[in-house]
Structure 1
Amino acid sequence: MKNVTFRQLRVFTEVARHLSFVRAAEALHLTPPAVTMQVKELESALELPLFDRQGRQVSLTTAGEYFLVYARRLLATLKDADDAMARLRLLETGLLTVGLVSTAKYFVPRLLVQFRQEHPGVEVKLQVSPNRAELLKLLGNNEVDLAIMGRTPNEMAMRSEPFAAHPLVFIAPPGHPVGEFGHPPLSVLEPYPFIVREPASGTRAAMEKFFAERQFTPCIAMEMPSNETIKQAVMAGMGLGFVSLHTIALELQARALQLVHVEHTPVMRTWFVVHRQSRVLSPAAEAFRYFVLEHAEAFLARQDGPLLAEPH
């Protein structure tokens, strides 16, 4: 173990994340042979194989699965040490890794552009997770500094701070019969099929809570793994949808979708900025946290307000 380097650990964890030497090389801006060499040197130092390689298929060995836990701990400890030293230097530089659920990708990049204008020395990396469960894994493994999510996690000791409202709405294709109603009761939607997110999604949880409170049982025609596929399915006339208002600005403006102003909607949730309580935030992460808490609410209000106010 004494010959193992942090460079090897970083390469190993990246290959373990992607289960691909080529994709790990792309993420690390290295060549695939360089990644392979680092892994081979690490395996030689440990005297154990870490990956099973069968053609293009790569999987962790039992030793690899165990070692991955310790490698992540070591890298997280090194990152904490680096952050602590940066605090002492009072520098707002370095790498900031922000994790977010897929719905947040419709506004977080624009916030980051503004943040970078004020903090040009910070390099930002986004980790978009398909759903809340995957984002919690990134937080648990210390693979992100901060996370943007819609439900506060109870699974781990986290600091969760609300920063903006998150409206969820019903949508239909243009010309759908439900568009003839002004503010219909939920029961009007009973004859129509729904295209919904997967069960692990926060949007799905909010929808089910809204339905359960009103004792409404929807006709679920399909489950889709992303907002984009739901929008396309609704535009194609396959059913109604329930999505974040953040995700449909362009479609509403182009009149490719219409809002269904069901009574008691939009369903209002809350966005949170989250980090592990035990983790010392770097100056860059602390600066972004303050930026989100100070600016994000007004930013989203400007973006979403006209969409709710105007008939579509």
Structure 2
Amino acid sequence: MNFIRSLTLRQLQIFVIACRYPSFARAAEELHLTQPAISMQIRQLEEAVGLPLFERVARKLTLTEAGERLSHHASRILGEIKDAEDAMTSLSLADSGSIAVSIVSSATYFAPKLLAAYSRQYPRVDVRFSVGNRETLLRQLQDNATDLAIMGRPPPELGTTAEPLAYHPHVLIGPVDHPLRDARRFDLQELAGDTFLLREPGSGTRAVSEQMFKQHLFMPARSVTLGSNESIKQAVMAGMGVSLISLHTLALELRSQELVLLDVNGTPVERTWQIVHLRSKRLSPTCIAFRRFLLEQAAPFLEREYAGFALQAREPAAETRLAK
């Protein structure tokens, strides 16, 4: 199958963006093109490949096996071209060019503010960021589809460089009328009868929860999987159950007292935000400056934003240590 000569970079760019959405209409909006123009480019790409790349399931477009495989190669090709472009345009300057940043969904509650602060300081730099769970970020790193990733656990399965950004506590939350809302330093076993609301497999938060269960030899009576931090918070506020979740997703709800922190032994679960990139990737001067900015600014910013809540979450543990 010799179709390389007939491919164009524009077709690959359109294809990669179309992969993100359940319809060509959404891709057309992002690309500022008409839907027929998107459909025509995809059709030409399918003709060149000789295989269908999309199929319609339940009125939504999904990738075929050929589409899945091509998406990885296309992302890698476009990533390499971006690297070449950055190298040519930013050989000596760190105040121009573009940066692709991927962040896990839990970081969306603070990372955009840091990106906005950076953009005010370096207005000529084009910072593009995408959001996904940990599994998605690993794929983007592997495909060279992103320069830097903000995530929790650095991936041992990939050759990456990971540097700590800031302390990242995970806390147990419950509805405001939870019977143990005022209890102090109780064991996780006291919640054995509660429903635990968990993130989807592949997310970092799910992994932290499962590790906590394992360490405490704990098995909840019932668990429910939900696909986002927002849905988990809404479910907790509605009284559906309890959840272990990043403190950095809770500022609004804690300020408005719509849920409570449960003072369970072993919490907060201490984790660290990391800034990650492929070890084999040659970062542009712009990316190096951006990484330095995050390393300098992330921890002080999070301490200012969440200091009161972090103290609220950690103070009982300190009291327990002093009592001993």
TM-score (normalised: structure 2): 0.86
Cα deviation code 1:17-38 (max 9, x no counterpart): 4363222222222222232333
Offset, 1:248: 1.1
Residue equivalent to 1:150: 152
Residue equivalent to 1:109: 112
Offset, 1:52: 5.0
Contact 2:174 2:237 in 1 (8 A): yes
Cα deviation code 1:47-87 (max 9, x no counterpart): 73553566965455666555444433332221111121133
Is residue 22 from structure 1 mapped to residue 44 from structure 2 by the alignment? no
Cα deviation code 1:275-297 (max 9, x no counterpart): 11122223332222111111101
Counterpart of 1:36 (choices 21, 34, 39) is 39
Is residue 79 from structure 1 mapped to residue 82 from structure 2 by the alignment? yes
Contact 2:205 2:245 in 1 (8 A): yes
- Report the secondary structure of 1:88's partner residue: coil
Is residue 8 from structure 1 mapped to residue 4 from structure 2 by the alignment? no
Contact 1:172 1:260 in 2 (8 A): yes
- Give the aligned residue type for 2:177: G
Counterpart of 2:272 (choices 270, 273, 281) is 270
* Identity over aligned pairs, percent: 45
Deviates more, 1:195-204 or 1:244-253: 195-204
Whole-angstrom distance in 1 between the partners of 2:64 and 2:180: 54
Change (3 A) 1:169 1:63: closer
Counterpart mapping for 1:1-312 below 5 A: 1-2=4-5, 4-18=7-21, 20-43=23-46, 46=48, 48-52=50-54, 58=61, 60=63, 64=67, 67-129=70-132, 131-310=133-312
- Give the aligned residue type for 2:214: A
Whole-angstrom distance in 1 between the partners of 2:231 and 2:12: 37
Contact 1:19 1:58 in 2 (8 A): yes
Contact 1:83 1:280 in 2 (8 A): no
Contact 2:16 2:75 in 1 (8 A): yes
Deviates more, 1:64-73 or 1:168-177: 64-73
- Give the aligned residue type for 2:148: L
- Report the secondary structure of 2:217's partner residue: coil
Whole-angstrom distance in 2 between the partners of 1:133 and 1:63: 20
Offset, 1:255: 0.8
Whole-angstrom distance in 1 between the partners of 2:258 and 2:283: 43
- Give the aligned residue type for 1:156: L
- Give the aligned residue type for 2:274: F
Change (3 A) 1:189 1:74: closer
- Report the secondary structure of 1:264's partner residue: coil
- Give the aligned residue type for 1:93: S
Deviates more, 1:77-86 or 1:280-289: 280-289
Whole-angstrom distance in 1 between the partners of 2:259 and 2:73: 49
Aligned pair count? 309
Q: CA RMSD in A?
A: 2.4
TM-score (normalised: structure 1): 0.89
Offset, 1:175: 2.5
Contact 1:51 1:58 in 2 (8 A): no
- Report the secondary structure of 1:179's partner residue: coil
